[in-house]
Structure 1
């Protein structure tokens, strides 16, 4: 799902037990599409760290879901096997012992095959996480003169990465760059385009 831009790795930090965890969120573009608030709330620390509470740990739930969705199917006769039978199948060379009796014909498959689930999602909004983060920073700081190193500082990444990704955003007409002199230094200042405002931030001032 991350490779297809449906979810993004949002943050990495220690949980309540001191274990480093990765925090995932619905892709920013999808959040804008579905009018879902994105990101950590501002203000008091207790509100910004609520999501590392133990009751938000869905590891076991996700593991159980994936196990339930996986099964094995014979490519010759269609005989199905439960995921719990994997050890048996592996020992007998993935042979379809309940069906055609052929060896090597049983393969892993997923029960979940709803190809139309994401049909209504506008795929042009599904940008990679870094590019969405750049747009988000520009949206939150419209009056500021932001250039690559300032955006990189906000995102905790290199200014080279921001510069490289900004070229793609500029080619997609989502940002524009203007040459400015800031503190005596020539800079390329980034701004959102009207297209980006309409696509990603339609309800912001």
Structure 2
């Protein structure tokens, strides 16, 4: 077990690991040109992936990790949608252990590096909260850790506290009020212009990549306008990428784009 996990409870370990895994995915996607934004070009071979941002309403859910110095609040800025967000930094030593480059490129032109769309971790926190569970015995109501739960499963689900069989239950921690609050945050976060949203939804529903001409025909606009709309989505949000095939240029939903659409689709 990594040294930095020893002081954390199970749920905190899970959240920290999810944050680290997401940063590693971003690193891979920058290095492999999945994110084509110009801001990533300078340090593409060894990108900086030590920071992330979240909706400010979610700050309380990071309190424990911050208290234990695994993360720290770095700054507050407005994201691409003009919404105020909180930027967090992973612990420097933690980044060294996980082979994540700490910091950002030098120069005023990189001041928005940490609020690029790939670093939006609001969905990460939201998914963690939605999936987080409480494990307890419905007979004695004692709560157990994930490790204890795995041990009890090996012995037929017998409660370690009262000995009752088949009494162990898993219950989602997120309340209806918290769920509503998170859904409201998602509605406000990463809001696209109507035409940008329509283009993404068309690619999602058609389940096939399309050229500018094909998109223009279906959205009833010029192919030049499609190019302008797609360029904004690709560079500002990293939700699209272009792929040349047999002399034609196709627009393709990126993994980040699919993640965004999934997060706003009921």
Structure number having the greater helix percentage: 2
**What TM-score results when the alignment is normalised by the length of structure 1?**
0.37
**What TM-score results when the alignment is normalised by the length of structure 2?**
0.31
Larger Rg: 1
Structure number having the greater strand percentage: 1
